[in-house]
Amino acid sequence: MEKNYFAHETAVIDDHCHIGKGTRIWHFSHVMTGAVIGENCNLGQNVVVSPDVVLGANVKVQNNVSIYTGVICEDDVFLGPSMVFTNVINPRSAVIRKDQYQTTLVKKGASIGANATIICGVTIGEYAFIGAGAVVNKDVRPYSLVVGNPARHAGWMSEFGHRLHFNEKGEARCPESGALYCLKESLVVKIDE
């Protein structure tokens, strides 16, 4: 079978994983058995993708990120440098809890900033933006900007990553794309397609 992705000579790619066309895997990274990586992804230096992790298409993983079993990232997700996923709520070195891994879902277009920590079992909504250093311990709404420890809602973001400022009618436009967004009952919906 022809390899249709790039892996640096120092990268370790285990048997029985799927790597999509056009994906690039850089220095000292390790993709483990059973991992599924979509097309056109980029895995920076020193990235670990554990067994059965699923990454959609066009996922960008910056340096020093470990993606543990139980994590699913949909298309167009950005994982910032040294951000952290967990997969067990109460880890102990002497207690084996592989049967207690929790699923963490990062939905399409979400961005997670540098050094953020994502506690297992949460869902991060579409196009949410997790600020650098945030500690996320509960679900994050689509388009929400969250910051701090513990992470708290601090505003709304467009699909292009700009802060949205809603008027009295609950409408805001992205300054880059011009797309219209509507805020109603603490949820943001993109109106323009």
pTM: 0.96
Tokens 């805001």 identify what position? Answer: 172
CATH of 6-157, one of 3.60.20.10, 3.40.50.1100, 3.40.50.300, 2.160.10.10: 2.160.10.10
Percent of the chain whose predicted confidence (pLDDT) is above 90 = 97
What band does 193 get if pLDDT is binned at 50, 70 and 90?
low
**What SS3 class is residue 98?**
helix
> In the chain, what are the helix, strand and coil shares in percent, each to the nearest 5?
0, 35, 65
Distance CA 124, CA 143 (A): 10
pLDDT of residue 105: 98
For the record, the structure tokens of 86 come out as 């967990």
Closest of 80, 84, 82 to residue 120, by C-alpha = 84
pLDDT tens digits, one per residue of 48-68: 999 999 999 999 999 999 999
> 175: cis peptide before it, omega within 30°?
no
Residues spanned by CATH 2.160.10.10 within the chain? 6-157
